[in-house]
Amino acid sequence: MDFVGKEIKKRRTMLRMTQEELALKSGYKTKGSIQKIEDGTTDVTNKRLSMIAKALGCTPSDLLSSYDKAIDNSFNNLSNNSNNVTHTTSHNHYYDDDSKKDSTAHIIVTENTKKYFLGIIDNVRNMDDDQLLDVLKYCEFVKSKKR
């Protein structure tokens, strides 16, 4: 959430609002919570992000815009360096004997990868913990299916 913290700080300082004022307007008791969020040392829940956004006169999406730009830049770099296709291989050395499964993974990044990834991010932003756990379990299920 480092990107979000920087965006919160930028908007707060533009409004000439102190950390203490933002804390009180967004439901925190002390400025320490806002300081930790801005420094990126603690995450902010979706509910608190909404409250902070309201206190800053913007939307949660506005606070996440720098995060979206960073993702866009990452995908653009992938695209520019590889004619829109990247092959990546990783190996987990935990599996060091033949009796255990080979964990070598081949990942292909295409133009659609960015679209799918951003679609997933847009959908999980406002989910609660139970919903996120369901998504994680489903991802593990999909990954476990044989192709």
CATH code at 2-58: 1.10.260.40
Tell me the mean pLDDT per 10 residues along the chain, length 147. Answer: 82 94 93 92 87 91 69 56 46 44 53 76 80 83 73
Q: Where are the domains of the chain?
A: 2-58, 63-144
Size of the chain, expressed as the number of residues it contains: 147
Count each helix (H run) and each strand (E run) in the chain, helices first: 7, 2
CB 85 within 8 A of CB 108: yes
Please name which of 65, 73, 123 lies closest in space to residue 56, comparing C-alpha atoms. 65
Q: Which residues share a beta bridge with 59?
A: none
Residues 6+ apart with CB under 8 A from 117: 71, 75
> What pLDDT is attached to residue 146?
64
